[in-house]
Structure formats: structure tokens, C-alpha cells
């Protein structure tokens, strides 16, 4: 392991958005990777204007 973790792609089903599930999973992943020795986590976001849900999550 090189001390880095990356989440890509990541999202929730449209029926379950805005419930905090995506945020909870990202935080869980960050905590889990930090416990494994990652000092840096990258969350890759498409970020395009046509994907506002992804931009809000990330």
C-alpha cells in the first residue's frame, strides 16, 4: 500500500439520494482506509454541470 486511497466512481441510486447514505459510505471508507494506513484519500467526481447530484455529494 502506498498510503493513498481513491473512491471512483461513487454514487447512490436516485430513489435513495438526500438521505445521507452517500456521505456515510464515504466517511466510512475514509475511516477504514485511514485505519489501514492511508494518509490521503481522493474522491474522483465527474464534476460536469450535467451531474449536479455528484457535485453536491463530493
Domain count, the chain: 1
Rounded to 5°, angle at Cα 21 from 46 and 26: 55
From the CA atom positions of the chain, what is the Rg in Å? 12
What pLDDT score does 47 carry? 62
Residues 7-20: pLDDT tens digits?
Answer: 777 778 889 888 99
pTM over 0.85, yes/no = no
Domain with 42 in it: 4-57
Give bridge partners of residue 7 from the DSSP assignment: 43
Is the distance from CB of 45 to CB of 6 less than 8 angstroms? no
Residue 7: the pLDDT is 75
Amino acid at each position: 500500500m502506498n498510503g493513498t486511497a481513491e473512491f471512483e466512481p461513487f454514487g447512490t441510486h436516485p430513489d435513495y439520494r438526500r438521505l445521507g447514505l452517500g456521505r456515510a459510505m464515504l466517511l466510512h471508507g475514509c475511516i477504514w482506509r485511514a485505519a489501514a494506513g492511508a494518509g490521503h484519500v481522493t474522491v474522483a467526481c465527474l464534476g460536469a454541470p450535467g451531474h449536479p447530484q455528484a457535485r453536491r455529494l463530493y
